[in-house]
Amino acid sequence: MKSRMRLFLIILATVLGGFSLVLYTTLSEEIILKGITYCTSSLSKLAYGSFTFFISAFLAGFLASLVVVRDNSWPHFLISAAIVGKMLFLLFFGYWAISFWSVTGLHISLIAGLWAGFFGAAKFPLAPM
């Protein structure tokens, strides 16, 4: 595969994975859970929210892996860096409306789901070589 095509696929997978991550987390947070907040939600709803965030990130990581060749993990590194960058931005500029550990746990759930999707797609029998 030519380097231009490989770079194009990396960019495409990063954009599609990032947009699908935003879409799936918004769907799970606003539609399935009907607005989850740390202060007003029950403990079971927070645990279910973490699980739906993990599944959303798993789907985004799986989709990004199917766009690029299986051994290419650059889109996942870039999306993970964007998640960590978002967390650091919130930390440095003081936009924590909820508990630090709750937000950290949700972001770790996103990163773990993203990489689980990557490894799940590597074992998927119909994935491109």
Query: pLDDT by residue (tens digit) across 9-21?
Result: 999 999 999 999 9
Per-residue pLDDT tens for 24-73?
998 988 888 887 776 777 788 878 888 899 999 999 999 998 888 766 88
SS (H, E, C) the chain: CCHHHHHHHHHHHHHHHHHHHHHHHHHHHHHHCCCCCCCCCCHHHHHHHHHHHHHHHHHHHHHHHHHCCCCCCHHHHHHHHHHHHHHHHHHHHCCCCCCHHHHHHHHHHHHHHHHHHHHHHHHCCCCCC
**20 in a structural domain:** yes
Give the global pTM.
0.87
**What's the domain count of the chain?**
1
Residue 129 lies in a domain: no
Q: Is 119 within the bounds of a domain?
A: yes
The parent domain of residue 88 ranges over 3-123
Please report whether residue 22 resides in a domain.
Answer: yes
